Amino acid sequence: MQTIELDFTATSHVSRLDAAFRIRGTLEWQLREEFLKGVQHAFSRRPDLAARLHGGRIVRLGKRGGSRSSLFPSKKNAAASHVAVYMPVESRLEQAYALCLERHPSVVAYRTQAISIEIPGGRAHWPDFLILDDRGRIFVREVKHSKNFLTDDYRSKVEWVDTFLSRVGVDYALVDRDELPSDLALQHFKSIHHSYARIPSKFEIEHALAAIPSLLPCPYQTLVEALGDVAKHLLFVGVLKIDWEKPFDMGATVWK
């Protein structure tokens, strides 16, 4: 089975800087400049003393209705001096999406509840995820259980947000549960992600990749005994493969 990856292909010609954005003084230029200041501020925030990396809107932790807000341990967003930082998420579905962002090879960093977008009526809308990829592009994503069961008011709101973000050159989309990996695969991702402390260095990864051809295919335990946490990381990010839809244990077969 192929590793499930998220699609960050722009849905329209919006993730680029065209002439309208480069002409200083145009409305599009002004909107984009103001929005990018918010993006830069979001990615410049530092964790607090408890290693929590809050967004612009503070998420209250604890159970609320059928959802549970919590702190997700992110290695990808941690500075070199931190093993991990803790990102506030408002539901298990957002936890699942954060796991997928941790795995995605193109994602450099992301923030939760990071930017405020003013919508008609003087209200503020806080999208779930602000994402930066390795080409310097910005993506805004919101996670919902189903796109088919949104209220008319919510549909109107996200259509306005989509139009606004298109004007400033940012790709926006709703992601629902059906676009994420299965519950079993997510359970395996979480188990592996939590089993090692930090992202290995480039040298450690290169050393492991040189040794891997002589080891594979092999049981997961054999790989971990030979390469330690680097093996766990390479499996988590999809460089190494297992069948995520089968029960996972130390005897699971790993290949490349």
What pLDDT, on the 0 to 100 scale, is given for residue 25?
A: 63
The CATH architecture annotation of domain 19-179 reads 3-Layer(aba) Sandwich (3.40)
Q: What is the distance between the alpha carbons of residues 44 and 141, in angstroms, rounded to a whole number?
A: 19
186 Cβ contact partners less than 8 Å away, ≥ 6 residues apart: 96, 99, 180
Measured CA distances, 247 to 99, 115, 143, 163, 186 (Å):
19, 39, 27, 43, 12
pTM value surpassing 0.95: no
Q: What is the distance between the alpha carbons of residues 193 and 189, in angstroms, rounded to a whole number?
A: 6
Backbone φ and ψ of 185, nearest 5°: -60, -45
Confidence check: pLDDT of 2 > 50: no
Residue whose C-alpha is closest to residue 234's, from 211, 213, 205, 207:
205
Q: What is the pLDDT of residues 31-80, one digit of tens each?
A: 888 888 999 999 999 999 889 998 888 777 766 555 578 999 999 999 87
Confidence check: pLDDT of 105 > 70: yes
Kindly state the percentage of the chain with pLDDT values over 70.
87
Kindly state the percentage of the chain with pLDDT values over 90.
69
Q: What is the pLDDT of residues 193-237, one digit of tens each?
A: 999 999 999 999 999 999 999 999 999 999 999 999 999 999 999
Under the banding of pLDDT at 50, 70 and 90, the label for residue 120 is confident
Measured CA distances, 63 to 71, 112, 187, 194 (Å):
12, 18, 20, 22
Domain ranges of the chain: 19-179, 183-254
